[in-house]
């Protein structure tokens, strides 16, 4: 039986290769399991503007990602939109709301109270799970859906790639490190102008009810992501401060070093896999050379076990949504 869904916080248009690839995984997963994304609200939009529309959905799915927290770099306006949306819908409509694919921390008391209105809550790591448990909120752990990302014909390149960080102060250090060692610096974020071009293109498609996206639009959407992935193909090692870059590295079996993020999502992921030794202190990236360690047999085994366990959790997640 098909379920009509409203998807909130579609990050396809954010200038972030990880978000683009993640949303492709999310849409593919739901479509394969008979969930019809009847409407979607992009991250760039004000979620509250949608409340005046007819709410004829079987489910409302909120893609949490790294949005729902109260840390220093939080988008507080977007966080407030999410909680006001939940509060309004639960008071006016009898529609199940599910938050999934989320890291959650440092919320206010009134936000935690609203969070208890949500029908089901799925977080990406144990730190969010324990934080919610401490506040008497039930949740389940389902690793980030970018776990579903797969590539064929994986070959290891020769280059060392330096990626950016979600902690802005770290990016200057990463750029200096890459320049000194003649490594290519490839941020996961990309051209901001393309973001708005893509957004208005989506709007035109919806406005004129165009059913087929033109080749030009498809190429524009994919161009930057494909170029980024090509760079990864030519690499043998990645240094990254980005959560989603780790998943791309895992999908392409590229060894990496990473750093703790603005939330505990990176640490949580490394704990789940058992790759805590892959987290290094960014200040260790001085002018002196560092040893780029390949994945050991033990690490490869841990990665395979994590992927198997993650796929099992995702299947259970989908089964539970179907039963609502």
pLDDT at 235 over 60: yes
Residues near 253 by Cβ (< 8 Å), separated by ≥ 6? 154, 156, 295, 300, 303
The CA-based angle 126-87-166, given to 5 degrees, is: 40
**pTM for the model:** 0.90
Does residue 253 come out as left (phi exceeding 0), alpha (psi in the -120 to 50 range) or beta? left
Strand partners, 35: 3
pLDDT at 191 over 70: no
Segment among 217-226, 254-263, 280-289 with least mean pLDDT:
217-226
Overall residue count recorded for the chain in this entry: 324
Average pLDDT in the chain: 88
Share of the chain above pLDDT 70, in %: 88
- What tens digit of pLDDT does each residue of 266-321 get? 999 999 999 999 999 998 887 666 788 999 999 999 999 999 999 999 999 999 99
Residues near 313 by Cβ (< 8 Å), separated by ≥ 6? 140, 141, 142, 143
Residues near 87 by Cβ (< 8 Å), separated by ≥ 6? 114, 117
pLDDT for residue 46 = 86
Q: Is 309 buried (19+), middle (13-18) or exposed (0-12) by CB count in 10 A? A: middle
Q: Which residue in 62, 94, 95 sits closest to 78, CA to CA?
A: 62
Question: Dihedral sign, CA of 188, 194, 198, 203?
Answer: positive
- What tens digit of pLDDT does each residue of 87-104 get? 999 999 989 999 999 999
Segment among 14-18, 215-219, 272-276 with least mean pLDDT:
215-219
Q: Sort strands 35-42 and 3-10 into parallel, antiparallel or unpaired.
A: parallel
Which helix or strand (DSSP H or E) is residue 98 part of?
Answer: strand 97-102
Tell me what the mean pLDDT of segment 182-193 comes to. 82
pLDDT grade, residue 167 (50/70/90)?
confident
Tell me what the mean pLDDT of segment 7-33 comes to. 91
186 vs 203, more confident: 186
Please say whether the structural domain 3-148+308-323 has been given the CATH code 3.30.479: no
Tokens of 93: 């409509």
Spatial separation of the C-alpha atoms in residues 261 and 155, rounded to whole Å: 29
pLDDT grade, residue 213 (50/70/90)?
very low
The full set of domain ranges for the chain reads 3-148+308-323, 159-307
Q: Which residue in 32, 35, 50, 42 sits closest to 5, CA to CA?
A: 35
pLDDT for residue 214 = 40
pLDDT for residue 54 = 87
pLDDT at 210 over 80: no
Q: Which residue in 3, 17, 15 sits closest to 44, CA to CA?
A: 15
pLDDT for residue 64 = 94
């Amino acid at each position: 039986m098909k379920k009509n869904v409203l998807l909130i916080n579609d990050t396809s248009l954010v200038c972030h290769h990880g978000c683009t690839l993640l949303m492709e995984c999310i849409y593919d997963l739901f479509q394969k399991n008979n969930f019809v994304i009847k409407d979607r609200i992009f991250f760039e939009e004000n979620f509250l503007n949608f409340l005046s529309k007819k709410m004829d959905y079987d489910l409302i799915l909120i893609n949490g990602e790294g949005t729902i927290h109260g840390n220093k770099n939080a988008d507080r306006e977007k966080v407030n939109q999410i909680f006001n949306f939940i509060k309004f819908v639960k008071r006016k409509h009898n529609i199940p709301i599910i938050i999934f694919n989320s890291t959650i921390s440092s919320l206010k008391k009134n936000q935690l109270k609203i969070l208890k209105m949500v029908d089901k809550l799925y977080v990406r790591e144990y730190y969010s799970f324990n934080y919610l448990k401490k506040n008497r909120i039930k949740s389940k752990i389902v690793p980030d859906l970018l776990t579903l990302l797969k590539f064929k014909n994986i070959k290891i390149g020769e280059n060392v790639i330096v990626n950016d960080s979600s902690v802005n102060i770290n990016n200057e250090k990463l750029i200096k490190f890459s320049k000194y060692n003649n490594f290519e610096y490839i941020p996961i974020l990309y051209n901001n102008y393309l973001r708005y071009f893509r957004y208005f293109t989506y709007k035109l498609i919806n406005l004129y009810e165009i059913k087929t996206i033109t080749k030009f639009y498809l190429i524009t959407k994919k161009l930057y992501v494909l170029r980024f992935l090509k760079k990864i193909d030519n690499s043998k090692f990645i240094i990254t401060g980005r959560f989603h870059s780790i998943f791309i590295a895992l999908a392409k079996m590229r060894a990496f070093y990473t750093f703790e993020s603005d939330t505990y999502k990176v640490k949580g992921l490394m704990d789940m896999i058992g790759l805590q030794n892959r987290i290094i202190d960014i200040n260790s990236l001085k002018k002196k050379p560092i040893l780029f360690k390949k994945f050991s047999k033990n690490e490869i085994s841990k990665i395979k076990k994590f992927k198997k366990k993650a796929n099992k959790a995702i299947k259970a997640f989908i089964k539970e949504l179907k039963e609502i």
